[in-house]
Amino acid sequence: MSVKVVTPSGELTTLTVPRHAAGPDLNQVVLGSEGTLGVIVEATLRIREKMAVQDVRGMLFRDFASGIRTIRAWVAAGLPMMMMRLSDAQETEVSLLLRHDPDKRFDAGATLLDATKSVGYGDDRAIMLFGIEGDDRTRLSAHMLRAQAIGVLNGGLPLGKGPGTSWKKERFRTPYLRDFLLDQGIAIDTMETAFEWSKLEQGHARVLAQMRAATQRHAGGGLAMGHVSHSYPDGACVYFIVVYPVSASDAIEQWREIKRATTDAIVDAGGTISHHHGIGTDHAPWLTREKGVLGVKAMKALKQTFDPEGMMNPGKLF
């Protein structure tokens, strides 16, 4: 709600009020500056009570587009969703392979999912993890019934609580795969963006196509996949993941070329260069394409005002 910032030019303190209309929001100016204007030494945060109950489940769709329609319908209905994570076809198959236990003589979950192929949930299928939270179990159950009914109307196949339980168990384990795979010569990187709803499906497809072409060109092949992670009334974040064999001769330049091709595709498709990871140095070359020449000029003017000697986090943003 408010911040106190120490800058090379002095202190900046904003008011702790629920809303204001007194010019541009300086809280956002500071929070988006990535340490290039000053250091936040005090902050007042808005909090809310933690909900008493939550329910996380899985649902399978025939394709990515059906899942997107469901998310939009949930958001429009005002349901208290705590999670709406929709994997595309490639990520769905990787996720299902990772959860399969080869030591099991009979894997009931895998058998059930294989059976769905005969009723239209084939190569394009997309899995959704979704959750609802609330302060009353009866109301939560009613919201969950409505959410599942909307999903079914869009072709969704409810998978019960099993996928949610597995996700909660594994969500903090899978990131450790990154270092292990790198030791085996396999790189993983993530790139996230946000599209308005009207551009999301096409943007997702365009970015995946460029990622696959880039990994083929610079690594001889690889995997490109993604999921919708954060959703809003007017659009959603799409989180892309790329997996490829590392070049022993020049791994950094190989990564740069794949990153460049992917980010160019994101910008060309109308997405932002970062939904939540920030700019730093990785995305700085694309900042002008997103903000425009005048926008970057205004940002540099702020930098000059707060930090005329360029002391704070030099080289970041621009």
Choices 3.40.50.620, 3.40.1350.10, 3.30.70.3450, 3.30.450.20: CATH for 53-171: 3.30.70.3450
Q: What is the pLDDT of residues 128-162, one digit of tens each?
A: 999 999 999 999 999 999 999 999 999 999 999 98
pTM flag (> 0.85): yes
pLDDT digits (tens, 9 = 90+) for 200-255: 999 999 999 999 999 999 999 999 999 999 999 999 999 999 999 999 899 999 99
Does pLDDT of 43 surpass 70?
Answer: yes
Specify the pLDDT at position 99. 74
Q: Report which secondary-structure segment, H or E, holds 87.
A: strand 81-87
Predicted local confidence at residue 109, as pLDDT = 67
CATH number of 176-268: 3.30.300.330
Q: What is the mean pLDDT of residues 155-175?
A: 87
Instruction: Indicate whether 310 pLDDT > 70.
Output: yes
Q: What is the mean pLDDT of residues 91-97?
A: 90
Interstrand relation of 157-160 and 223-232 (parallel, antiparallel or unpaired): unpaired
Task: Write the CA distances from 269 to 113, 201, 206, 291, 295, integer angstroms.
Answer: 33, 10, 7, 15, 20
Least confident span in 33-47, 51-65, 174-188, 240-254: 174-188
pLDDT score for 269: 97
d(CA 32, CA 5): 13
Across the chain, mean pLDDT equals: 94
Q: Do domains 53-171 and 176-268 have the same CATH topology?
A: no
Could you tell me the CA-to-CA distances from 85 to 56, 164, 306 in Å, in that order? 11, 11, 40
Closest residue by Cα to residue 131 from 89, 156, 165, 171: 165
Domain ranges of the chain: 2-47+282-306, 53-171, 176-268
